[in-house]
Amino acid sequence: MNLILFGPPGAGKGTQGKALAERFGIPQISTGDILRENVRMNTPLGMKAKEYMERGALVPDEVVVDMVKVRISRDDCRRGFILDGFPRNVAQAEALREMLRGIGKQIDHVIGIDVPKEEIIRRLSGRRVCRGCGANYHVIYNPPSKDSVCDRCGGEIYQRDDDREETIEARLEVYRQQTLPLVDYYTRMGIYRAVDGTGSAEQITERIVGIIGQRGNNP
Ligand code: AMP
């Protein structure tokens, strides 16, 4: 099963990606996570991506598309994968279609996670992330039990640079202009389904599983 989790920043793609990856035993591929890791390690890719990410802009397509191509061809994607944060525009969607066609695969479902704008801003501005395992927290709704320390792995919890208020608006604008047209694109292909992205993480996971129509560990 090859799945795209779609939605604005803060919709919960990362959280749902992790839950679904565990449930179905297939990897979550988050382009944002891969890019952040490259920035942290100061790789040539990270150095190229950094300034775009800091502004809340999209990293150039060719950089991200190559990165995804390499990741998808790894052996752990044989039985399927969950894309989180990719594609972000029509050119990337086209590139994805081509690269999958080349290896005899296709996208089965695109799940759009719907969350009202005020809720998105509340989530993003309070979001904190673990540097070690990537777990998400929120200063009010889901704080760690010990300040700045991850409950799961003991890693350091920090605020992403692009979750600061001034960058959030820029990211939402990029989403509206460049990413939102993909709803039409995938609706025309007949594989787009929207889910209500409000409620508990577990409730949302169940809604998605209901749409996909598969049981856990049975991709
Ligand atoms: P995310 O973690 O998905 O919110 O992504 C964080 C940042 O990484 C975005 O604001 C972009 O700068 C960059 N990024 C992530 N995925 C993509 C993509 N598919 N295309 C271009 N830039 C991306």
Task: Delineate the domains of the chain, giving CATH numbers in brackets.
Answer: 2-115+179-214 (3.40.50.300)
Average pLDDT estimate for 91-119: 97
Q: What is the pLDDT of residues 21-61, one digit of tens each?
A: 999 999 999 999 999 999 999 999 999 999 999 999 999 99
Q: What is the mean pLDDT of the chain?
A: 95
- The answer on pLDDT for 213 being more than 60 is yes
Catalytic residue among 88, 123, 128, 207: 88
Q: Give the model confidence (pLDDT) of 107-146 as tens digits.
A: 999 999 999 999 999 999 999 999 998 889 999 999 999 9
User: Residue 166's pLDDT is what?
Assistant: 87
Catalytic residue among 18, 23, 171, 207: 171
Q: Which atom of ligand 1 is nearest to the CA of 86?
A: 19
Using the Cα atoms of residue 4, residue 177, residue 123 and residue 137 in order, give the sign of their dihedral: positive
Mean pLDDT of all residues in 187-193: 97
With beta carbons less than 8 A apart as the criterion, state whether 131 and 157 touch.
Answer: yes
The Å distance, Cα 35 to ligand 1 centre, comes to 8
Q: How confident is the model at residue 94 (pLDDT cuts 50, 70, 90)?
A: very high
Residues 6+ apart with CB under 8 A from 121: 10, 168, 172
What average pLDDT score do residues 192-211 get?
A: 97
Rounded distance from Cα 31 to ligand 1 centre (Å): 6
> Quick one: pLDDT at residue 134?
87
> Catalytic annotation on 13?
yes
Which member of 23, 71, 127, 207 is catalytic? Answer: 127
C-beta of 88 in contact with ligand 1 (< 6 A): yes
The confidence score (pLDDT) of residue 21 equals 97
pLDDT at 120: 95
- pLDDT score of 215 more than 60: no
Chain-centre distance for alpha carbon 200: 18
Greatest pairwise CA separation for the chain in angstroms: 48
pLDDT at 195: 98
The DSSP 8-state label assigned to residue 116 in this structure reads -
**What pLDDT is stored for residue 214 in this prediction?**
60
